[in-house]
């Protein structure tokens, strides 16, 4: 006889915690990765929450959206039905920090009873027993109420118990339904299994304009190393252009060992200042300042002076070290060694960065390393800095960033961190989920109408919009795209308008952008020739046309709240692939802007619009008043279809404030349009 078959052990049978909870809650949105990560908002914004809430059988359900600030008590608002068992509600975040939210639902026995009563009354059936049941339900609500509400409910219960036509009228009264709903029976309520999170930042996290400059290039006299005082002297200019964030590349001592020369040559000449990203020397590391820039006290004066101009100073955080950084000698275990005993320098083959040592996050001393890096943030926060651009965060562990950002935000919820991670999309999104406030994007390389439409749709119309705040940069010290190299000043102009109006936050590498610098280090390269990363350049403002465009667009951004958000971005039809049409509006439709940009920096392009007027808060039919905020020109447009022609040598785009025409006045039988006249 063969081996006996062993029957599997029976699965243990367990009872639910409370089998009387019959309401199901699922499909909650927004919810990022099953509640693993928070969504993002700024103070004053709404959080709209949706959920599928239903039960078995035919009983009606009711549900509420529960929310609280991390330091407060739970509050709640009713959710409204949105069709097909979908419910919707909202709350407003009013303080910095973190909020929690969830959904709770229960059987609405009184609502179910009223629904059935109405059917029986319409069918002229006897409802005396039903009124008695309703009286019991109302009396239960009275026991849960207090004061005047309890007294009114007791009176209503008595009226229902009395029966007759008056009782039916009382039972179907909407005021009674409202009063009972305010005191529901939640003994068997279901609460969504997760408490979801919202990170709440200040408005500059959502809406900001960044200007990047190298402090060492700000001296009045060519060849002299700039100082913090020289930067202070430039603040009125930056403020006049309309920027509210002044971003400084690393301001620390620069290593001398293996210092790079001009254009990233392997060896430096006697006067070469080296790359600011090769951080640290005998003069100090990440918490020190380059002696030729000034002192820490001078830096404090810069921060205070910028604040008086309405500007915040943003610092670069680059967690890497020059070979002569103090940490290399003090903490040799923080760096990886090669077989020959030398420290491993940074590489991105075929590029070699002998002047930079990466930190080894797999060191056995990782806890001390993490604390030291957090200490770098804290030292600058203590000096009044609240905005940081973080260099290459994708080359450091995700777990480090999650921990460090949580520590920073717990102490200083007003801190803003911009992730400079030009890497794979999932990595960029992960960093945003972990807490980075804003993120660099692929905008610089999205040039065609289809590329821009697809990319902006992804950023603003998918779940990414809940946690990923894009910052659009048409150029950086590392990025000089072929589009800018080949297109000249018109290319710079249109890319600026796109960056500043497509995204609520954007930035430029300022002096180079204003002057439309576009010579690459060699053909096919995106590196600048005579890059400011490796040499001191004489700072000077850009040409009048570019300066005027920048200042005007930034003024439009400040004056038109429609540009303060990405949520309402919508694309409109226009029958030329070189023309891009899009709009933004305020939630209340009080401000609506339509942008039409010529993506071809060389040729005149024209086309007919196909506007979705409802997206602009406008009713179909009737003429429109289109005021071009870039030029002051005013056009009379006819509904959805209008002719547009843009010469890139004259104007890169229209930025139009659209309003319905209240009264039409035709002079001489002509009405102006952007193409000329319409007869």
pLDDT of residue 668: 40
Question: Tokens for 372?
Answer: 């030291």
For the cut 50, the answer to whether the pLDDT of residue 669 exceeds it is no
Please report which confidence band the pLDDT of residue 2 belongs to, taking 50, 70 and 90 as the band edges: low
C-beta atoms surrounding 181 within 10 Å: 14
For the cut 90, the answer to whether the pLDDT of residue 573 exceeds it is yes
Q: What is the pLDDT of residues 450-480, one digit of tens each?
A: 999 999 999 999 999 999 999 999 999 999 9
Residue 536, CB-side half-sphere exposure with 13 Å CA sphere: 19
- Per-residue burial over 611-631, b if 16 or more Cβ lie within 10 Å, else e, is bebebbbbeeeeebbbebbbe
Identify whether the C-beta of residue 284 lies closer than 8 Å to the C-beta of residue 316.
no
564-678 and 18-108+184-201 share a CATH fold: yes
Q: What is the pLDDT of residues 640-667, one digit of tens each?
A: 999 999 999 999 999 999 999 875 444 4
Q: What is the rounded CA–CA span in Å between residue 610 and residue 408?
A: 48
Identify whether the C-beta of residue 257 lies closer than 8 Å to the C-beta of residue 519.
no
Three-class SS state of 496: helix
Query: 366-382 vs 398-411: helix axis angle to the nearest 10?
Result: 40
Three-class SS state of 148: helix
Q: What is the rounded CA–CA span in Å between residue 364 and residue 519?
A: 46
Among 130, 391, 489, 600, the active-site one is 391
CA distances from 364 to 282, 368, 369, 398 (A): 26, 9, 10, 17
CA distances from 605 to 215, 362, 595, 598, 653 (A): 40, 55, 15, 7, 11
Domain 564-678 fold: Immunoglobulin-like (2.60.40)
Q: What is the pLDDT of residues 401-452, one digit of tens each?
A: 999 999 999 999 999 999 999 999 999 999 999 999 999 999 999 999 999 9
Average pLDDT over residues 208-216: 98
pLDDT of residue 5: 66
Identify whether the C-beta of residue 418 lies closer than 8 Å to the C-beta of residue 505.
no
Q: Find tokens 């293996």 and name the residue.
A: 258
The answer for residues whose C-beta is within 8 angstroms of residue 540's C-beta and 6 or more apart is 511, 515
CA distances from 612 to 98, 452, 574, 609 (A): 37, 19, 11, 10
Query: 128-144 vs 174-181: helix axis angle to the nearest 10?
Result: 40
pLDDT of residue 674: 44
Average pLDDT over residues 114-142: 96
> Which letter does DSSP use for residue 407 in this model?
H
pLDDT of residue 279: 98
Q: Are strands 470-472 and 438-440 parallel, antiparallel or unpaired?
A: parallel
Q: Are strands 605-610 and 470-472 parallel, antiparallel or unpaired?
A: unpaired
C-beta atoms surrounding 399 within 10 Å: 12
Domain 18-108+184-201 fold: Immunoglobulin-like (2.60.40)
The answer for residues whose C-beta is within 8 angstroms of residue 405's C-beta and 6 or more apart is 417, 434, 435, 436
Residue 451 catalytic? no
Q: What is the pLDDT of residues 54-80, one digit of tens each?
A: 999 999 999 999 999 999 999 999 999
Domains of the chain, residue spans: 18-108+184-201, 202-251+289-319+359-559, 564-678
pLDDT of residue 580: 98
> Which residue, 579, 610, 589, is CA-closest to 660?
589
pLDDT of residue 676: 36
What one-character-per-residue DSSP string does 174-234 give? Answer: HHHHHHHHTS---TT-EE-S--EEEEEE-GGGTSEEEEE--GGG--SSTTSPP-HHHHHHH
Identify whether the C-beta of residue 476 lies closer than 8 Å to the C-beta of residue 212.
yes
Domain 202-251+289-319+359-559 is in which class?
alpha beta
Please report which confidence band the pLDDT of residue 98 belongs to, taking 50, 70 and 90 as the band edges: very high
What mean pLDDT, rounded, does the chain reach? 94
For the cut 60, the answer to whether the pLDDT of residue 679 exceeds it is no
Among 130, 230, 316, 420, the active-site one is 420
For the cut 80, the answer to whether the pLDDT of residue 572 exceeds it is yes
pLDDT of residue 543: 83
pLDDT of residue 325: 98
Q: What is the rounded CA–CA span in Å between residue 624 and residue 618?
A: 9
What one-character-per-residue DSSP string does 544-567 give? Answer: HHHHHHHHHHHHHHHH-GGGG-ST
pLDDT of residue 665: 45
> 391: which strand partners?
420
CA distances from 328 to 251, 266, 339, 361 (A): 19, 21, 18, 14
% pLDDT > 70, the chain: 96
Please report which confidence band the pLDDT of residue 229 belongs to, taking 50, 70 and 90 as the band edges: very high
Q: What burial class does residue 486 get, using C-beta atoms within 10 Å of its C-beta: 0-12 exposed, 13-18 middle, 19+ buried? A: exposed
Residue 31 catalytic? no
Three-class SS state of 498: helix
Q: What is the pLDDT of residues 483-527, one digit of tens each?
A: 999 999 999 999 999 999 999 999 999 999 999 999 999 999 999
Identify whether the C-beta of residue 343 lies closer than 8 Å to the C-beta of residue 356.
no
Identify whether the C-beta of residue 423 lies closer than 8 Å to the C-beta of residue 394.
yes
For the cut 80, the answer to whether the pLDDT of residue 248 exceeds it is yes
């Amino acid at each position: 006889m063969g081996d006996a078959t062993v029957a599997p052990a029976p699965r243990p049978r367990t009872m639910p915690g409370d089998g009387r909870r019959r309401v199901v809650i699922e499909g909650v949105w927004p919810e990022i990765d099953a509640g693993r990560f928070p969504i993002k908002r700024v103070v004053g914004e709404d959080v709209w929450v949706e959920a599928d809430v239903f039960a078995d059988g035919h009983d009606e359900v009711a549900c509420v959206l529960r929310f609280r600030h991390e330091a407060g008590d739970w509050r709640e608002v009713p959710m409204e039905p949105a069709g097909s068992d979908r419910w919707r509600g909202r709350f407003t975040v009013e303080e910095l920090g973190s909020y929690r939210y969830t959904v709770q639902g229960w059987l609405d026995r009184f609502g179910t009873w009223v629904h059935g009563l109405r059917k029986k009354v319409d069918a002229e059936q006897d409802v005396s027993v039903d009124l008695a049941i309703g009286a019991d339900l109302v009396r239960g609500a009275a026991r849960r109420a207090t004061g005047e509400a309890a007294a009114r409910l007791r009176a209503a219960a008595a009226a229902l118990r009395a029966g007759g036509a008056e009782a039916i009228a009382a039972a179907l009264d909407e005021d009674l339904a409202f009063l009972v709903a305010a005191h529901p029976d939640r003994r068997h309520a279901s609460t969504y299994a997760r408490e979801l999170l919202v990170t709440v930042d200040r408005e500059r996290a959502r809406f900001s304009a960044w200007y990047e400059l190298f402090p060492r290039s700000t001296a009045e006299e060519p060849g002299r190393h700039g100082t913090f005082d020289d930067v202070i002297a430039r603040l009125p200019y930056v403020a006049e252009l309309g920027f509210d964030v002044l971003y400084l590349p690393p301001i620390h001592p620069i290593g001398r060992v293996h210092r790079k020369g001009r254009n990233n040559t392997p060896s430096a000449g006697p006067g070469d200042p080296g790359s600011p990203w090769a951080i640290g020397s005998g003069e100090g590391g990440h918490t020190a300042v380059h002696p030729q820039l000034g002192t820490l006290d001078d830096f404090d004066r810069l921060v205070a002076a910028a604040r008086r101009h309405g500007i915040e100073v943003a610092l670069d955080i680059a967690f890497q070290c020059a070979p002569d950084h103090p940490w290399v000698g003090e903490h040799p275990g923080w760096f990886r060694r090669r077989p020959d005993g030398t420290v491993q320098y940074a590489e991105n083959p075929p590029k070699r960065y002998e002047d930079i040592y990466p930190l080894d996050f797999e060191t056995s001393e990782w806890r001390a390393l993490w604390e030291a890096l957090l200490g770098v943030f804290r030292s600058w926060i203590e000096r009044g800095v609240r905005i940081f651009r973080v260099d290459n965060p994708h080359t450091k562990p995700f777990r480090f960033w999650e921990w460090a950002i949580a520590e920073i935000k717990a102490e200083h919820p007003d801190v803003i961190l911009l992730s400079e991670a030009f890497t794979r999309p999932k990595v960029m999104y992960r960093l945003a989920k972990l807490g980075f406030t804003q993120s660099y994007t692929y905008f610089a390389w999205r040039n065609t109408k289809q590329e821009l439409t697809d990319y902006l749709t992804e950023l603003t119309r998918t779940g990414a919009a809940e946690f990923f705040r894009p910052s659009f940069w048409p150029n950086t010290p590392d990025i000089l795209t072929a589009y800018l190299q080949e297109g000249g000043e018109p290319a710079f102009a249109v890319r600026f308008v796109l960056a500043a109006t497509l995204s609520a936050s954007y930035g430029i590498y300022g002096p180079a952008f204003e002057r439309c610098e576009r010579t690459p280090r060699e053909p096919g390269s995106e590196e600048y020739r005579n890059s400011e990363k490796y040499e001191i350049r004489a700072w000077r403002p850009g040409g009048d046309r570019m300066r005027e465009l920048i200042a005007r667009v930034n003024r439009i951004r400040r004056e038109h709240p429609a540009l303060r958000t990405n949520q309402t971005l919508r694309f409109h039809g226009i029958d030329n692939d070189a023309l891009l049409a899009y709009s933004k509006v305020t939630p209340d439709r009080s401000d609506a802007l339509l942008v039409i940009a010529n993506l071809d920096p060389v040729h005149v392009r024209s086309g007919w619009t196909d506007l979705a007027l409802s997206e602009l808060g406008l009713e179909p039919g009737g003429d429109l008043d289109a005021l071009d905020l870039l030029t002051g020109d005013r056009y009379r447009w006819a509904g959805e279809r209008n002719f547009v022609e843009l010469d890139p040598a004259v104007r890169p785009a229209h930025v139009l404030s659209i309003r319905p025409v209240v009264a039409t006045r035709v002079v001489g039988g002509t009405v102006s349009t952007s193409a000329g006249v319409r007869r």
